[in-house]
Amino acid sequence: MATLSGIGMGLWYIFLALLPLVAAYICLQVFFRKSNIEVQRLESLSRSPPISHLSSTLNGMDTIRAFSALEDFTTLNDKQLDHNNVEKFALKYILSWYGIRLDMIGAVIVLFVFGGITLVRIFGSLDVGSAAIAMSYTSGFTSLLANFSVEISDLELRTNAVERFWEYKKIEQETHNPDDIIPEEWPKEGTIVFKQFSFRYANGPLVLKHLDLVIASKSKTAIVGRTGAGKSSLLQALYRILEPADGTILIDGVDFTKVKISHLRSKLAIIPQDPTLFMGI
């Protein structure tokens, strides 16, 4: 605003001459913003695969070496990095493309204002102070236009976070049933009974089918099975990550679906397949 009023001091009629340039700037803005947001999105999408590939490669280095698959992994890594670089370069060139056009508009604005000032000084009655202020503000006008566009694109991109937030909000919530029927000291013994228990992920097939299992209090039980047999799913089910498809689990005789989910989870402890140990101080 300061810049505009600086330029406009005594020279408001120059703004009329600038109207076609304003129209050109708006068209350029709209065109640039659409492409810029799309390419930024593509760039961030292509950034995650090489990062996750790197982390899984580092985790599975022994296995990769044992199966002599180093070359395959290197090739995939190169491919993913190349893909990301294509988007990165596209982004860079879009910004250069836009910068050049913006500079051109800025140069024409400077030409108009400087030409206008000169004419008004020759034929009119513009004082030197106003002319100097208008000239000095005009020279910084191009970078102002550029910053404005970048800020607007950034704002648009960041509002995607709100869109994601609404998507997460639509996700079905876990049932939070009250647990006022549960005794204070529950679970005392820790007996776990699976009764005709069935479990599935989302709309997939049943992973656990009509399971009957009793795990006695204070006993140690090993569950053995091939990969994909459902060992981890058994623990997921115990934590009620998803509701049972059929049957139930009784913990010390209490149906676990009747317990408030936060209360149930606070009473269980687990050391997962890939435990994370936090560094001590």
Ligand X SMILES: Nc1ncnc2c1ncn2[C@@H]1O[C@H](COP(=O)(O)OP(=O)(O)OP(=O)(O)O)[C@@H](O)[C@H]1O
Question: Which of ligand X, Mg ion, none is residue 201 near (CB under 5 to 8 Å by kind)?
Answer: ligand X
Residue of 63, 173, 221, 227 interacting with ligand X (CB under 6 A) = 227
Question: Which of Mg ion, ligand X, none is residue 280 near (CB under 5 to 8 Å by kind)?
Answer: none
CB of 228 to ligand X, least distance (A): 4
Residue of 198, 232, 236, 248 interacting with Mg ion (CB under 5 A) = 232
CA distance from start to end of the chain:
53
Does residue 231 interact with ligand X by CB under 6 A?
A: yes
Identify the CA nearest to 255 among candidates 169, 167, 171, 196: 196
Residue nearer to ligand X on the CB measure, 225 or 280: 225
* Sheet hosting strand 206-215, strand order edge to edge: 206-215, 192-200, 246-251, 254-255
What are the angstrom distances between the C-alpha of 74 and each of 56, 61, 71, 88, 269? 12, 12, 5, 21, 39
Residue of 194, 230, 240, 261 interacting with ligand X (CB under 6 A) = 230
What are the angstrom distances between the C-alpha of 278 and each of 198, 220, 272, 275? 35, 26, 14, 10
- Piece in contact with ligand X (CB under 6 A), picked from 37-45, 79-87, 119-127, 223-231: 223-231
Does residue 233 interact with Mg ion by CB under 5 A?
A: no
Residue of 159, 164, 173, 204 interacting with ligand X (CB under 6 A) = 204
- Piece in contact with Mg ion (CB under 5 A), picked from 47-55, 106-114, 124-132, 227-235: 227-235
Cα separation, 239 vs 259, whole angstroms: 11
CA atoms within 13 A on the CB side of 240: 25
Restricting to residues 172-201, which ones interact with ligand X according to CB under 6 A? Answer: 201
- Helix ranges (DSSP H) in the chain: 2-8, 12-59, 61-66, 70-123, 128-139, 141-158, 160-170, 231-238, 261-266
Question: Which of Mg ion, ligand X, none is residue 6 near (CB under 5 to 8 Å by kind)?
Answer: none
Question: Which of ligand X, Mg ion, none is residue 233 near (CB under 5 to 8 Å by kind)?
Answer: ligand X
Cα separation, 250 vs 194, whole angstroms: 7
Residue nearer to ligand X on the CB measure, 231 or 267: 231
Q: Are 91 and 82 in contact (CB under 8 A)?
A: no
Residue of 207, 211, 238, 251 interacting with ligand X (CB under 6 A) = 207
Question: Which of ligand X, Mg ion, none is residue 228 near (CB under 5 to 8 Å by kind)?
Answer: ligand X
Q: From the CB of residue 144, how many other CB atoms can be counted at a distance below 10 Å?
A: 13
Name the residue with the smallest CB distance to Mg ion: 232
CB of 193 to ligand X, least distance (A): 20
Q: Are 191 and 256 in contact (CB under 8 A)?
A: no
Identify the CA nearest to 46 among candidates 73, 84, 82, 79: 84
Binding region for ligand X (CB under 6 A): 201, 204, 207, 225, 227-233
Binding region for Mg ion (CB under 5 A): 232
